[in-house]
Amino acid sequence: MTSTTTTGLDASIPTDLDSARAKLVYLYLAAVGSATAEDLCEELAVNKGTVLSITGTLRDRGYLERRNGRFELA
């Protein structure tokens, strides 16, 4: 028997993201909807400086927005 699971998640990553960590943050936010910087640090095992650098780059490129202290895809 074959089982097929559909998540409804659009996991297409922007082609101009070269960093594996940036792709990880993008995919994580696509899956969960929104997260704080602390959530990203804890869940992805990335230090806060790296998270802030990645989210800054994603915001500059128009992929991410920050609302009420939480990051979410634009």
Task: Mark 2-13 as b/e (b = at least 16 C-beta within 10 Å).
Answer: eeeeeeeeeeee
Q: In the chain, what percentage of residues exceed pLDDT 90?
A: 84
Residue 12 covered by a domain:
no
Domain coverage including residue 52: 20-73
Residue 10 covered by a domain:
no
Provide the strand spans (E) within 1-74: 34-35, 64-67, 70-73
pTM score of the predicted model: 0.83
Residue 3 covered by a domain:
no
Summarize pLDDT for 17-29 with one digit per residue, the tens: 999 999 999 999 9
Domains: count for the chain: 1
Residue 40, domain CATH? 1.10.10.10
Distance CA(16)–CA(47), nearest Å, equals 23
The predicted structure's pLDDT at residue 12: 87
